[in-house]
């Protein structure tokens, strides 16, 4: 059974610590969280997924970082694994019930997204 969400609230204490204690981005040091790593250990499929709401776009530095990680994983993943790539999911508002939804730049329905993510 999939583990349920416990709090529904994201604790930002570690995020604040990173921003206060680690080097400033002007030094070239960047930090980003990745929203989802989707993996099926039986079929050996792996996908990275960044989710944006309210039609937000990735900042250029974050897009470049994720594209590099995507390229590096494509080169180095084990032969028996299938890397499905890095993708961006964008909701024009918050969720399926109040948004158009785009997987990368292609508009998808909830059922289509279930199919894409359920490898």
Q: What is the 3-state secondary structure (H, E, C) of 66-115?
A: HHHHHHHHHHHCCCCCEEEEEEEEEECCCCHHHCCEEECCEEECHHHHHH
- Mean pLDDT estimate for the chain: 91
Banded model confidence at residue 74, pLDDT cuts 50, 70, 90: very high
| Span 19-67, pLDDT tens digits | 999 999 899 999 998 999 999 999 999 999 999 999 999 999 999 999 9
Residue owning tokens 């995020």: 15
Predicted structure pTM score: 0.84
């Amino acid at each position: 059974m999939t583990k349920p969400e416990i709090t529904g609230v994201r604790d930002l204490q570690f995020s604040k610590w990173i921003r206060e204690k680690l080097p400033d981005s002007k030094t070239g040091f960047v930090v980003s969280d990745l929203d989802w790593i989707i993996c099926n250990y039986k079929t050996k499929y792996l996908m990275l997924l960044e989710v944006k709401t309210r039609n937000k776009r990735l900042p250029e530095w974050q897009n470049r970082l994720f594209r590099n990680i995507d390229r590096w994983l494509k080169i180095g993943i084990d032969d028996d694994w299938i890397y499905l790539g890095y993708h961006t999911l964008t909701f024009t508002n918050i969720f399926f019930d109040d948004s158009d939804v785009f997987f990368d730049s292609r508009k998808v329905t909830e059922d289509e997204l279930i199919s894409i993510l359920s490898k």
